[in-house]
């Protein structure tokens, strides 16, 4: 096992204490207390340590203050917000990672995500020049280049096209980028939180491209954003015609400004940066544009000093979110291990979990829906005896590709890169139930 370099950026312990949802835990414990012959949720009713001697449970609980008064009325909050008790469930950034917060990234709190959809207020943010405030009434999208009929579309025009709604993840390929040399960040939010999954609503690019009429020789598209960075990326036309969409909806409401309001490109399964936000221009051409972005940043540095210019698809990956550094274990007993798996190449076929650092594997349960290029929930039953554990998950996608270990990845790619670290994550569980990010050599 290699040394773990610990950097104290993990959320504070007391915040984690709240994250443990004490109400639910004490309910479980009470469940055990009255379990004699009662039918409870089958596996988890057996969870936890032996029940403390509970007083006989004969009458309903006493009324707390909120049961003895009127609550707030409707439209007290015309736009709803989460319960005050959930205030620790937030995006976080790593201040030392970037010089400014305008060219930076924040992380989704995966440790608290229930189900496959990332709530809009928790979706990770990646900006190259900050988050612009785009007025939808003034925003225009230009489609030009090797086309018969160039278009200049207002948001009103865009919304008149036939719509589709699709559920896909967006992952920045820098996700896990700090972990190439050694285990660094003791937090699943920071090791894996540059990802979010949402239902995107918009129009298929194929519909728009049919309308502008592609000229012979058209093979590439330059997509450009309206932010100060005018972030642009070259994308093969083939991909745009296949499954890309121009999205203005995110989980049932308008895109959030953070995600590209009023309109962004969704490039299913491909690395985050091609999903251009605040989209203002699509130029059709014959060749890719090697923009500064592409040649200087989204390249993959190989051990021999050469760099790969275009890498697009997200390779299969998975991570256990509970237990995790933010979700420590509370004593020996039965637990449900929970995590996410995803692949940019299609559906997750299966996920294995290991409790001994990858020596033995057992099949996890995939919780539906299992959608292509979307976060997929997996669970596994785990009875902990209180001894140290090295817990891992390993995803296999529908192409048969198997998520590699960090040692296997390093053999091919060295340690100089930042991008596309899809290695198996190892959590070390100590006898006191605390969980640490470690790497196995």
Distance in Å, CB of 426 to Mo ion, minimum: 25
Q: Cβ closer to ligand MTE: 281 or 347?
A: 281
CA torsion angle 434 435 436 441 (round to 10)? 120
Strands 376-384 and 365-367: antiparallel
In the bound state, the residue with its beta carbon closest to Mo ion is 172
Instruction: Give yes or no for residue 420 binding Mo ion (CB under 5 A).
Output: no
- Neighbour count for residue 152 (Cβ, 10 Å): 11
DSSP 3-state of 80? coil
Residue number with the shortest CB distance to ligand MTE? Answer: 225
282 interface partner picked from Mo ion, ligand MTE, none, CB below 5 to 8 A per type: none
Find the angle CA(428)-CA(370)-CA(321) to the nearest 5 degrees.
Answer: 20
Residue in 269, 157, 135 with CA at minimum distance from that of residue 202: 157
Torsion from C-alpha of 301, 306, 311, 316, nearest 10 degrees: -60
d(Cα 225, Cα 205) in Å, to the nearest integer?
A: 16
The reply on whether position 112 binds ligand MTE by CB under 6 A is no
Nearer to ligand MTE, 269 or 323 (CB): 269
Burial 258-281 (b: 16+ CB within 10 A, else e): bbbbbbbbbbbbbbbbbbbbbbbb
172 part of the interface to Mo ion, by CB under 5 A: yes
Alpha helices in 287-423 (DSSP H): 292-296, 406-413
Please report how close the Cβ of residue 76 comes to ligand MTE at its closest, in angstroms: 30
Question: Binding mask 106-145 vs Mo ion (x if CB under 5 A, - otherwise)?
Answer: --------------------x-------------------
Of Mo ion, ligand MTE, none, which one sits near residue 234, judging by CB under 5 to 8 A according to partner kind? Answer: none
* Interface with ligand MTE, residue 91, by CB under 6 A: no
123 makes contact with ligand MTE (CB under 6 A):
yes
- Return the residues of window 263-292 that contact ligand MTE according to CB under 6 A: 272-273, 275-278
Binding string, 185-204, against ligand MTE, x = CB under 6 A?
-----------x--------
Task: Give me 255's structure tokens.
Answer: 């895109």
Positions in the binding site for ligand MTE (CB under 6 A)? 123-128, 170, 172, 196, 225, 227, 229, 231, 258-259, 272-273, 275-278
Binding site for Mo ion (CB under 5 A): 126, 172, 272-273
């Amino acid at each position: 096992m290699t040394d773990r370099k610990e950097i104290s950026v993990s959320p504070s312990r007391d915040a984690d204490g709240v994250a443990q949802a004490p109400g639910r835990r004490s309910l479980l414990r009470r469940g055990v207390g009255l379990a004699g012959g009662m039918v409870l949720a089958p596996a988890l009713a057996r969870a936890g340590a032996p029940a403390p001697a509970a007083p006989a449970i004969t009458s309903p609980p006493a009324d707390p203050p909120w049961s003895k008064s009127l609550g707030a009325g409707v439209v007290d909050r015309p736009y709803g917000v989460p319960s005050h008790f959930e205030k620790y469930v937030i995006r976080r950034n790593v201040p030392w990672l970037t010089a400014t917060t305008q060219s930076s990234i924040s992380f989704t709190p995966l440790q608290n995500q229930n189900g496959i959809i990332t709530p809009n207020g928790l979706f990770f943010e990646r900006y190259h020049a900050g988050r612009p405030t785009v007025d939808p009434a003034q925003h225009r999208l230009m489609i030009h280049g090797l086309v018969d009929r160039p278009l200049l579309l207002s948001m009103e025009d865009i919304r008149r096209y036939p719509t589709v709604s699709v559920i896909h993840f967006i992952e920045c390929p820098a996700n896990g980028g700090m972990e190439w040399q050694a285990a660094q960040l003791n937090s699943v939010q920071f090791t894996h939180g540059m990802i979010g999954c949402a239902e995107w609503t918009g129009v298929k690019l194929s519909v728009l491209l049919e309308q502008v009429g592609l000229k012979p020789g058209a093979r590439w598209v330059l997509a450009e954003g309206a932010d100060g960075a005018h972030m642009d990326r070259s994308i093969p036309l083939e991909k745009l015609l296949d499954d890309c969409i121009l999205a203005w909806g995110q989980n049932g409401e308008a895109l959030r400004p953070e995600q590209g309001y009023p309109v962004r490109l969704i490039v299913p399964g491909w690395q985050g940066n091609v999903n251009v936000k605040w989209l203002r221009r699509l130029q059709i051409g014959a060749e890719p544009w090697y923009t500064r972005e592409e040649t200087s940043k989204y390249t993959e540095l190989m051990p021999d000093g050469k760099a790969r210019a275009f890498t697009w698809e997200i390779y299969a990956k998975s991570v256990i979110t509970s237990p995790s550094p933010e979700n420590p274990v509370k004593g020996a007993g039965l637990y449900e291990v929970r995590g996410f798996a995803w692949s940019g190449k299609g559906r997750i076929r299966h996920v294995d979990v290991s409790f001994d650092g990858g020596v033995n594997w057992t099949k996890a349960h995939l919780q539906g829906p299992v959608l292509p290029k979307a976060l997929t929930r997996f669970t596994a039953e785990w009875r902990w005896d209180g001894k140290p554990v090295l817990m891992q998950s390993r995803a296999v996608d529908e192409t048969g590709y198997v998520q590699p270990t960090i040692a296997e990845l390093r053999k091919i790619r060295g340690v100089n890169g930042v991008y596309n670290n899809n290695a198996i994550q190892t959590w070390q569980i100590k006898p006191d139930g605390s969980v640490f990010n470690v790497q196995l050599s």
